Amino acid sequence: MKKDSKIFVAGHKGLVGSAIVRRLEKGGYTNLVLRTHKELDLLDQKAVAEFFAKEKPEYVFLAAAKVGGIGANSTYPADFIYRNLVIETNIVESSRENKVKKLLFLGSSCIYPRDCPQPIKEEYLLTGPLEPSNKAYAVAKIAGIVMCESYNKQHGTNFISVMPTNLYGINDNFDLQNSHVLPAMLRRFHEAKVRGDKEVVVWGTGKVQREFLFVDDLADACVFLMNEYDGLGIVNIGTEEEVSIKQLAELVKKTVGFKGKISWDTTKLDGTPRKWLDVSRLHNLGWKHEVSLEQGLKKTYAWYVKNAR
């Protein structure tokens, strides 16, 4: 990408999209094309086609998606598969029609089988059953990957797919019912501290392992790959560092300054036992993350306190 290349960031108001915009602006890219949901409904095929025909973006970051935590995925599976399939289909096809030079599609580590060998290599995709609680979302994301691969094969496009691990950071969703584990936990501990509670109840057993990536590190990796990677295979983006949910809860408690105790609601689902990505492909290309979990939690909590309503 050149500094004046026309770049469309789909979903620029979300967690990932906003981080990509921050990274592009920091890098001196001056010709960003951004549309809010009111300005462009990505579920509307005609509107998306007209937008691409008029604006003719050269590069596309496909960060728009319906996302949520284990509760939301279990409750609204039809929404997750429908909305994500339609968004990615509309944008990928319009990108082909308008000769976009390169597109980066953002997937998710939940695309991999539930009981995958660890760490998870890119080639483990489609080698086993998915985690049932987020199967609909995962299938939609897998479809996006296969779509990009198919368009490259049939039409000679340059559409790449990246698979980030669990994300968190500035502009995250802190809704207690529909958000991911880390932002929900930050909010729960913060509100407990404000109320003076003596206890915080966390879902699950605390035994499952997770890997967390600060979203600004993800954005940096995406810009790096857009400039440096033209391979056909998907690329994992992660940290190679794992924590149990119990360890995460203790770290969040420390970050927030909550003085009470932690208890566990073992009637709630744990989800996939372990999701630890092999990022050797990305490391071999020359990129590594910079923000530690402790640093990222401090930045995220500071943003939440400042912006919470």
Q: Which residues contact 29 (CB under 8 A, 6 or more apart)?
A: 1, 3, 4, 5, 7
Band (178; pLDDT cuts 50, 70, 90)? low
Band (46; pLDDT cuts 50, 70, 90)? very high
Task: Give the pLDDT confidence score for residue 149 in this predicted structure.
Answer: 97
Band (73; pLDDT cuts 50, 70, 90)? confident
Q: Which of 152, 126, 157, 122 is nearest to 139 (CA)?
A: 126
74 pLDDT exceeds 80?
no
Q: Please compute the mean of the pLDDT values over residues 68-86 and round it to a whole number.
A: 84
Q: Please compute the mean of the pLDDT values over residues 31-52 and round it to a whole number.
A: 97
Amino acid at 73: N
Per-residue model confidence as pLDDT tens digits over 10-23: 999 999 999 999 99
The residues annotated with a catalytic role in the active site are 137
Q: Which tokens is 188 given?
A: 């729960």
Task: Give the pLDDT confidence score for residue 75 in this predicted structure.
Answer: 80
Q: Please compute the mean of the pLDDT values over residues 67-83 and round it to a whole number.
A: 82
Band (68; pLDDT cuts 50, 70, 90)? confident
253 pLDDT exceeds 90?
yes
- Average per-residue pLDDT in the chain? 94
Torsion sign, CA atoms 293, 302, 272, 136 = negative
255 pLDDT exceeds 80?
yes
Task: Give the pLDDT confidence score for residue 135 in this predicted structure.
Answer: 92
87 pLDDT exceeds 70?
yes
Residues 151/92, Cβ–Cβ less than 8 Å: yes
Neighbours of 127 (CB within 10 A): 11
Dihedral angle at the C-alpha atoms of 32, 304, 211, 159, nearest 10 degrees?
Answer: -10
Radius of gyration of the chain (CA): 19
Task: Give the pLDDT confidence score for residue 64 in this predicted structure.
Answer: 95
Task: Give the pLDDT confidence score for residue 63 in this predicted structure.
Answer: 96
236 pLDDT exceeds 70?
yes
Instruction: Set out the domains of the chain in order of their start, with CATH numbers.
Output: 7-172+212-240+277-291 (3.40.50.720)
Q: Please compute the mean of the pLDDT values over residues 19-36 and round it to a whole number.
A: 97
142 pLDDT exceeds 80?
yes
309 pLDDT exceeds 70?
no
Task: Give the pLDDT confidence score for residue 17 in this predicted structure.
Answer: 97
Higher pLDDT, 26 or 180: 26
End-to-end distance of the chain based on CA atoms, in angstroms? 38
Burial status of residue 149 (CB atoms within 10 A of its CB: 0-12, 13-18, 19 or more):
middle
Task: Give the pLDDT confidence score for residue 187 in this predicted structure.
Answer: 94
Pairing of strands 235-237, 159-164: parallel
Share of the chain above pLDDT 90, in %: 83
